[in-house]
Structure 1
Amino acid sequence: MLKKKISKILIGTNNTGKLREIKDLLPKNLKIYSTSDFNIKSPVENEKTFEKNSLIKARYFSKKTKMICLSDDSGLEIDALAGAPGVYSARWGGKKGDFVKAMNRVFKELNKKIKNWKTKKIKARFICALTIYGPNRKTINSIGKIEGHISPLMKGKNGFGYDPIFIPNGKKITFGEMKPLQKYKIDHRFKAFKKIKKFF
């Protein structure tokens, strides 16, 4: 295991929403770099699981920078859509990563599958896989999940991605309506991070 705690790290993402959330989870005394500091484009993510795609990113950005890298692969799984969009969550937003387009696609697919779905509880979950990868070190993985259901309408301007259509179990509002601190205490990224924070 680690001889000493990590003191500087690269966050391996070009997604500004993810970068902001991961930064907020990390200890304040950590020296944090982002991929934009090195002007690196993202690698092709062609695996079928969040864990494997997270590893692709962590390994790629680490090798490009010779730094320890923390990468996240996350997405939304909807039971009624056989787990879609899943690992393709970002791709549903098209080349420009337009999540309004992605959320409208969720609604369209549900309309095709289930009559009056808006009156039902459509089970869904957010999953986050985090990977720490670095020169001469053991790869560390963790997974976090939060269960919930799909909101029939997009609500709230906070967060990013599919947050405006996801209502976590036990709550009446979407992630998009929650204050960031409220969301950070319960979401999938927080749950994944809790398992690896001892390394920082």
Structure 2
Amino acid sequence: MKKISELFIGTNNKGKIKEIKALLPKGIKIYSNLNFKIKSPIENGKTFEDNSLIKSKYFSKKTNLPCLADDSGLEIDILSKAPGIYSARWGGKSSDFKKAIKRVYRELNKKDKNWKRKKIKARFICCLSICFLEKKIVCVKGKVEGLISHEPKGKNGFGYDPIFIPIGKKFTFGEISPKIKYKMDHRFNAFKKIKKFL
């Protein structure tokens, strides 16, 4: 298969666009919704893979370009893997992650009043897919294991980064520099599997 020379990043999330651009090979001409202003599709899949493919097919058809889309979220074991595919929706209509993080803490308190004394296992999952029109080119999954911080820390990153401490580290994704985060997170792990197509 010939390498892709142009790619549309199928998301309206500026944080994701920035991170995906940083991971992509330099020779690819990148378009994003900053150029096109297309409304996002309804994500009614049952899995991260489903939602990633819904987005990459939809944006590819709208732009006539190969499209890379990401569906990602946080799974917390004690909450039966919630928020999972609903990670952004926990922030309400405007995907306000301050609200979403408060909800995580509310749900943890409901589940176990003493949760702060325990290690709360969690992981970030990322599914990346590339589609051209209706055709799926590739769909891969990456993840990074970690623990939930007792309070939000750090101003870097986006989404749930301030409450996620990757395994083996003392800092949240919100506290470490983007350069370091981009080399270890779920999106990077998914990218390693997708590289040969780019």
Normalised by the length of structure 1, the TM-score is 0.97
Match of 1:167 among 145, 165, 168: 165
Q: Which residue of 1 aligns with 2:186?
A: 188
Task: Give the Cα separation in 2 of the matches to 1:148 and 1:53.
Answer: 23
Identity of aligned residues (%): 69
Q: Rate the CA distance shift 1:152–1:104 in 2: closer, same or farther, 3 A.
A: same
Could you say what the CA RMSD is over the residues aligned between the two structures, in angstroms?
1.0
Q: Which residue of 2 aligns with 1:96?
A: 94
Task: Give the Cα separation in 2 of the matches to 1:45 and 1:38.
Answer: 19
Partner amino acid, structure 2, of 1:152:
H
Aligned to 1:106, what secondary structure does the other structure show?
A: helix
Q: Within the alignment, does 1:13 sit opposite 2:11 as a pair?
A: yes
Report matched runs for 1:48-63 at 5 Å: 48-63=46-61
Task: Give the Cα separation in 2 of the matches to 1:40 and 1:183.
Answer: 29
Q: Rate the CA distance shift 1:138–1:76 in 2: closer, same or farther, 3 A.
A: closer
Partner amino acid, structure 1, of 2:191:
F
Residues 57 and 133 of structure 2 are in contact (CA less than 8 Å); yes or no, is this contact kept in structure 1? no
- Structure 1 residues without counterparts, runs of 5 or longer: none
Report matched runs for 1:29-68 at 5 Å: 29-68=27-66
Match of 1:74 among 69, 72, 75: 72
Deviates more, 1:152-161 or 1:28-37: 28-37
Q: Rate the CA distance shift 1:137–1:95 in 2: closer, same or farther, 3 A.
A: closer
Q: Which residue of 2 aligns with 1:128?
A: 126
Residue 115 of structure 1: how far off its partner (Å): 2.2
Aligned to 1:36, what secondary structure does the other structure show?
A: helix
Partner amino acid, structure 2, of 1:18:
K
Across the two proteins, how many residue pairs are aligned to each other? 198
Report matched runs for 1:107-126 at 5 Å: 107-126=105-124
CA shift digits 1:61-117 (9 cap, x unpaired): 001111100000000000010010000000000111110100000000000001211
